[in-house]
Amino acid sequence: MTPIKRKTIDVSYIKKLREDKHFSQSYMANQLGFKSVEKYTRRENGEYKFQSDELPILSEVLETPIEKFFTSNVR
């Protein structure tokens, strides 16, 4: 039986995109409607997961298709 491939969000890729565009974490937090930068920082560091309703906003701000945020892990 073939293992199921589970897709997870690649937070290091999101961070790289943000840095390549010279966007601050504060700017990203603002775009996502967060009241504090810490909420964004925790997501980008992988402490908390990005929510499904945040992905379209990230996609638009970072000018990247949502599917590029994911990586497949064999589990």
pLDDT at 73: 52
pLDDT at 3: 79
The number of beta carbons lying within 10 Å of the beta carbon of residue 23 is 15
Mean pLDDT per 10-residue segment, the chain (75 residues)? 83 96 98 97 96 97 95 58
Residues 6+ apart with CB under 8 A from 44: 11, 14, 15, 18, 25, 28
Domains contained in the chain, number: 1
pLDDT at 74: 43
Range of the domain at 16: 5-74
| Phi then psi dihedrals of residue 74, to 5 deg | -80, 125
Q: What CATH code is carried by the domain that includes residue 11?
A: 1.10.260.40
pLDDT at 72: 62
